[in-house]
Amino acid sequence: MRHDHDASAALLEQVNQALNQRTPLRIQGSNSKAMLGRPASGEVLDTRSHRGIVSYDPTELVLTARAGTPLREIEAALEAAGQMLPFEPPHLGSEATLGGMVAAGLSGPRRPWAGSVRDHVLGTRVITGHGKLLRFGGEVMKNVAGYDLSRLMAGSFGCLGVLTEVSLKVLPKPRRCHSLRLEMGVHQALGELAEWGQQPMPISAASHDGQALHLRLEGGEGSVESALQRLGGETLDEGYWQALREQRLGFFDAPEPLWRLSLPHNCPPLELPGRQLLDWGGAQRWLKSDATPAHVRLSVARLGGHATLYEPDPEAFHPLSGPLLRHHRSLKQQLDPLGIFNPGRLYADV
């Protein structure tokens, strides 16, 4: 049973009280992404009272919902209409919310083929650090250097404002889906993926667990069947992709710290201590390692990538270059001049 409720007035009042008293706010939904980033301090602003799907017309491929709406509720509504969130967001907790999904900006195995969370955000309603509830979408906020603020909210971890509503582009589910497992080493897998990337192969997920390449094929009956005939391999349980997305594979149980490594396309295997699991055809790599953060980051930066530590840590996110840090500070100053929204969650002085 759904419990729709518009609590935007109460959230706006809490923000304005915080602005008047200059009190930091810790914005959160179910807190399922709490392991990411620096621990935030402040009075909790809980979005979960502000929930419900505001509008959804499957023929328009657009869904609008309040930020505190459980992600599972949104996915159930889409499933009933034969549609999906193309970027396959990880929940990382049973009560994950829409607002937290956008604020964390995380995407699942289909990301390289379908786009990111940011790519599918069409519009938002946001409580700004000026104490106003504003609607953004399609147009840009001219005093923020011409950026589309809705897309800036994706991956901002609540540092730029309080998301109250989000409109997303959704897509029909593919007509055919089949996953398979191909025994091969990681070097061969990366080579094959690079070659297949130049061909019209209906791949929508590709992961290597150290022993075998796991592929998901999606699309029309003919294209999937033809790819299956060509590739061979064993059938893989479709549950593998959800287990990977939700970090429930055995790989994630190892006691070492977990790193997420983001790399340019077609990077060679990384020589790092510990165990690695490849996702996104090799563009995202999970690392379980006791290596020092400096060693991990240097190895990844040499290839033009960045590394995120999945532990609450002062240096969880890859340090920004000077120009980028100035950019972040400038945005923070314009959207949250008193610095009350999740201060320090991303970086110490943002």
E-strand ranges in the chain read: 25-28, 43-46, 53-57, 62-66, 83-84, 121-127, 133-137, 162-169, 171-172, 176-183, 203-208, 212-219, 234-235, 258-262, 275-279, 284-288, 306-309
CA angle, residues 253, 255, 258, in degrees to nearest 5: 80
Round the average pLDDT of the chain to a whole number and report it: 93
Task: Please give the C-alpha separations between residue 317 and each of 100, 106, 154, 326, in angstroms, as whole numbers.
Answer: 17, 14, 15, 16
Q: 102: buried, middle or exposed (CB in 10 Å: 19+, 13-18, 0-12)?
A: buried
Query: Could you identify the residue written with the tokens 């996110």?
Result: 317
Q: pLDDT tier at 180 (50, 70, 90 boundaries)? A: very high
What average pLDDT does this structure show over 270-294?
97
What residues are paired with 28 via a beta bridge?
46
CA–CA gap between residue 297 and residue 216 (Å, rounded) = 30
Task: Please give the C-alpha separations between residue 173 and each of 86, 87, 178, 204, 206, in angstroms, as whole numbers.
Answer: 8, 12, 13, 12, 18
138: pLDDT strictly greater than 50: no
What residues are paired with 319 via a beta bridge?
none
Structure confidence at residue 1 (pLDDT): 46
pTM of the model: 0.94
The percentage of residues in the chain with a pLDDT greater than 90, rounded to a whole number, is 86
Task: Report phi then psi at 268, rounded to 5.
Answer: -70, 170
Query: Could you identify the residue written with the tokens 């582009």?
Result: 169
Structure confidence at residue 285 (pLDDT): 98
Burial 214-223 (b: 16+ CB within 10 A, else e): bbbbbbeeeb
What average pLDDT does this structure show over 140-162?
75
Lowest mean pLDDT among 77-81, 284-288, 312-316: 312-316
Q: Which amino acid is at 298?
A: L
183: pLDDT strictly greater than 50: yes
Task: Please give the C-alpha separations between residue 142 and each of 55, 147, 167, in angstroms, as whole numbers.
Answer: 28, 7, 21
Structure confidence at residue 147 (pLDDT): 53
CA–CA gap between residue 120 and residue 12 (Å, rounded) = 26
Comparing CA positions, the residue from 248, 295, 294, 253 lying closest to residue 275 is: 253
Q: What is the DSSP string of 301-347?
A: HTTT-EEEESSS-TT-SPPPPHHHHHHHHHHHHHH-TT--BSTTSSS
Q: pLDDT tier at 236 (50, 70, 90 boundaries)? A: very high
E-strand ranges in 141-202 read: 162-169, 171-172, 176-183
At residue 223, the 3 state secondary structure works out as helix
